[in-house]
Amino acid sequence: MHATNPAAADRAPTRWRAPLRIKASAACHLGAAALVAAAPPLWPWALGAVALDHALLTATGLWPRSTWLGANLLRLPDAAAARGEVAVTLDDGPDPAVTPQVLDILDAHGARATFFCIAEQAVRHPALAREIVRRGHSVQNHSLGHRHNFSLLGPAGLRREIGQAQDRLAQATGQRPTCFRAPAGLRNVFLDPVLHALDLRLVSWTRRGFDTREADPQTVLARLTHLLAAGDIVLLHDRHGACMADGRPVVLQALPLLLTRLRGAGLQAVTLPEALHP
């Protein structure tokens, strides 16, 4: 029996509505077809228009913070910002060597975080996935296996990758995710209707530390805190992170520095569900 999403249980299902950019793409295709039908010699112009449209759609999917392909949460709602809340998110775990240390750091600072977990990792380490939730944090969906070709999948492939992740994360933690973050933030035109059908909300970030390639904790901190404000969503990694000179992942030093900076600014680190459904 799968865990349910109480926040979603009270909502009636709604029909997916195509974003304006998708409607424009459909209109482009229809217009190109009409042009060729009315004036066949003009087919190169029609083909060029369709090719340009596809190029723009691809570029939009490669822009993680774009909202043109559908709703994409880049900041917390105004009400959460008014409460002085910030969402610290950690991707790609759980990792048996790093995640427990991250949890201890969060406990020491009285902070709560959101872990966008790869479902296959959670299945490998179910006790650790449950420990994340037990300590008051949130586990959300970061796909089944973090496939490098995720943004090339069609509707059926996306449904399998995200839907199976939903089931496995719910089984591992007892809580069904309500948020999804695409691998590397990359996506395509098919993702938004799939997320809608699964009752998931796409979440990106306000700022990121690039801690997968940057080994200096001060540089990571500077990127995370530049213009830092209430309502921000910040991104770190508890797996696949760059390592400092002593061999430890940079997140283990950057995270306490970040939490200290948040506390000094009067900001509170909360989970995404806390910020979205207080």
Instruction: Note the pTM of the prediction, 2 decimals.
Output: 0.89
Burial of 173 (0-12, 13-18, 19+ CB in 10 A): buried
Query: Per-residue pLDDT tens for 8-46?
Result: 444 546 888 877 777 777 888 888 788 788 888 888 887
DSSP state for residue 110 in the 8-state scheme? T
The pLDDT value recorded for residue 2 is 42
Mean pLDDT score, 241-265: 97
Sign, Cα dihedral of 168, 204, 228, 208? positive
What percentage of the chain exceeds 70 in pLDDT?
95
Question: 127-149: string of b/e by CB count within 10 Å (b at 16+)?
Answer: ebbbbbeeebbbbbbbbbebeee
What's the pLDDT score for residue 13?
61
Asked whether residue 103 carries a pLDDT value surpassing 70, the answer given is: yes
40's CB contacts (< 8 A; 6+ apart) are none
d(CA 239, CA 117): 10
What does the pLDDT look like over 175-232, one tens digit per residue? 999 999 999 999 999 999 999 999 999 999 999 999 999 999 999 999 999 999 999 9
Place of tokens 């760059």: 242
DSSP H helices, the chain, are 6-9, 20-38, 43-61, 78-82, 99-108, 119-124, 126-134, 155-173, 191-197, 217-225, 251-264, 272-276
Q: Mean pLDDT across the stretch 105-125?
A: 98
Q: How confident is the model at residue 77 (pLDDT cuts 50, 70, 90)?
A: very high
